[in-house]
Structure formats: C-alpha cells, structure tokens
Amino acid sequence: MFNLPETHFNFGGDEYIYAEISRDMRIESNFKAIAVTEELRKREIPGVIDIVSSNASYLVRYNPDIVSARDLLDYLKEIDLTKSNPEKLNLSVRIVEIPAWYDDPVSREYSMRFKSRHPAPDLTDFEYVMKVNGFTDKESFIKSHSETPYLITMVGFLPGTGWHFPLGLQPNGIIQAPKYNSPRTETPERGIGIGGAFNVIYPVNGPGSYQLIGRSAIPLVDKTNPLEETSFLARPGDIWKYRPVKESEYNEIESSVRAGTYHNKVKGIDLSPLEYVQKGKKYIDELMEDF
C-alpha cells in the first residue's frame, strides 16, 4: 500500500465533498487520487455530478436531493480506504512531447509588465527562477527542466490547464519558485509557469500567478472541432516531456498547427504506480527510454 496518512473529508456547502489525501505534495497522493476517482467514475453513483482528481486531493459534487450527504460521505470513505491499492492500479496513459521555447521574448515582456506584483522586480521571471534554484547558466537550467518527465497531476483553473509535477526526483532536486504576490491579470496563451513545485501551461490568455519561463509551441485545447472531452490535451496520469526548441522551429510548429498539419508526438504506455513507488527514477527512465 501507499504510505499515506488517513484522508481528511470535508463538506463544501451542500453540494461538495472535499477529500484531502495529504497536505504536502507527493506523487503517491496523486496516484491515490487517480485510483479513487477512477473507481468512483466507474461506479456511476446516482446523484454524483462531478468527480475531480487533484494534486493531493479530490473533489466530488453531488445532488443532495438524490443522494444523502452523510451517506455519500460514508460511501466515499470506504472506497478511499479499500480502492487505493497501488498493486491493482495500472494506468493506461500517454507520453506527450511539448516543444517549448524557453526564455522567449513574450514571456519576458509579460514578466516585466507585471513587475510590481513580483517578489524580485528587477529580474525577469526566468532569471528569478534560475536564481532561486541556484542556476547561473541558462542552458543548464533548460537542460535540467526539460530532461525531467512530468506527471499531469491535475486539470483545472481555466479549461485545459494542466498542473504537472516532476517524476523521479527527490524533493530537494525539484525546481521550485514562489508565486506572484498578487496574480497577473494577463498571461500569454501557452505560457509555461512554475509555482511552488508545480508547472502549468496556461491554455489561453488570462490571470495567473506562476513564474513564466517560456511558451509551448502546441495548443492545449483543440478548437478546430466541437468542444468535447478529447479536445483537451492535459489528462491526469499522462506524462509530459519538454523538448527545447529555438525561435525558428517554434514558429514552424506554430504555423503547421494553424495549418492543421502538425501531429503531436504521443505514445501510449501502461504506468504502474507500484513500480514507480518501488523503483523511482529507474522506472521512469525505462518508460522514457525509446520516446
């Protein structure tokens, strides 16, 4: 079993139950959130409206006119206890390549524009993230950030925003950054941000409080077809791998995306939380070997 504390349950008004697996972020908490929410989804529980797997927690929205709040709580507690065994959990997920232009001029421009909300107003966000993580060389930062595969641990904020958390690293090896003191009112579309130990890619221009370190060349939401579940690139349990690209390739990818000729580099895999817990980085290296 995962080595995790007992899940804390809370009612959120009359329509939500919030389950906090751990207060701190651990990959095991996320695997458990995925396991429990998959089980809940499979059961099609009458009265349950929304099921959201989050970084180290999950959220259920229900209609109390159909299912009693207290009975549902008891039911969730039981599933939380009995259906989170990593040995039985096998995730059919995808590895997705994200071509990224690090330290691009648009991210630089946005980070200077919102200087007054920033903990270090004299630096760009990219320089700041390098500095607080002890990097002095841009290329070694890019190498370090892009060679780590990331697990999609939560989707939300604005539609299709994927939180991702590094796989196979010890907490002290994870690139981290403080969030803005007060959120930016604007963020470039496809901007890559770091806040705490998480990375996000912002799907559209909107508010944000993570440090901007670059931009993805590929979109997070496919708007060419009627919007449906599969229009969103970010899916919990998927692995994202950054590939640094320069300006010219970034522009080429952008225009082939616009022309509808770009195909994401994607590979389907089976991800075993148990093997990850047992073997750590070695297991991730095996998974990534021929990607």
- In angstroms, rounded to a whole number, what is the distance separating the alpha carbons of residues 194 and 177? 6
- Does the protein bind other proteins through residue 44 (CB under 8 A)? no
* Residue 203 near residue 220, CB atoms below 8 Å: yes
Count residues binding other proteins (CB under 8 A).
63
Outline where the chain has alpha helix (H). Answer: 27-43, 69-82, 105-113, 125-132, 138-147, 247-259, 273-279, 281-288
* Residue 219 near residue 233, CB atoms below 8 Å: yes
- Does the protein bind other proteins through residue 280 (CB under 8 A)? no
- Does the protein bind other proteins through residue 114 (CB under 8 A)? no
CB of 133 to other proteins, least distance (A): 13
Among 47, 79, 195, 279, binds other proteins (CB under 8 A): 195
- Does the protein bind other proteins through residue 102 (CB under 8 A)? no
- Does the protein bind other proteins through residue 196 (CB under 8 A)? yes
- Does the protein bind other proteins through residue 121 (CB under 8 A)? no
- Does the protein bind other proteins through residue 74 (CB under 8 A)? no
Residues 223-242 that bind other proteins (CB under 8 A): 226-229, 232, 236
Among 1, 5, 23, 246, binds other proteins (CB under 8 A): 23
* Short-list 154, 141, 145, 149, CA closest to 167: 149
What x/- string results for residues 149 through 188 when contact with other proteins is judged by CB under 8 A? -----xxxxxxxx-x-x-----x----xxxx-xxx-----
Residue 44 backbone dihedrals phi, psi, to 5 degrees: 45, 60
CB of 247 to other proteins, least distance (A): 28
8 C-beta neighbours (distance < 10 Å), count: 12
- Does the protein bind other proteins through residue 12 (CB under 8 A)? yes
- If DSSP codes are grouped into helix, strand and coil, which group holds residue 20? strand
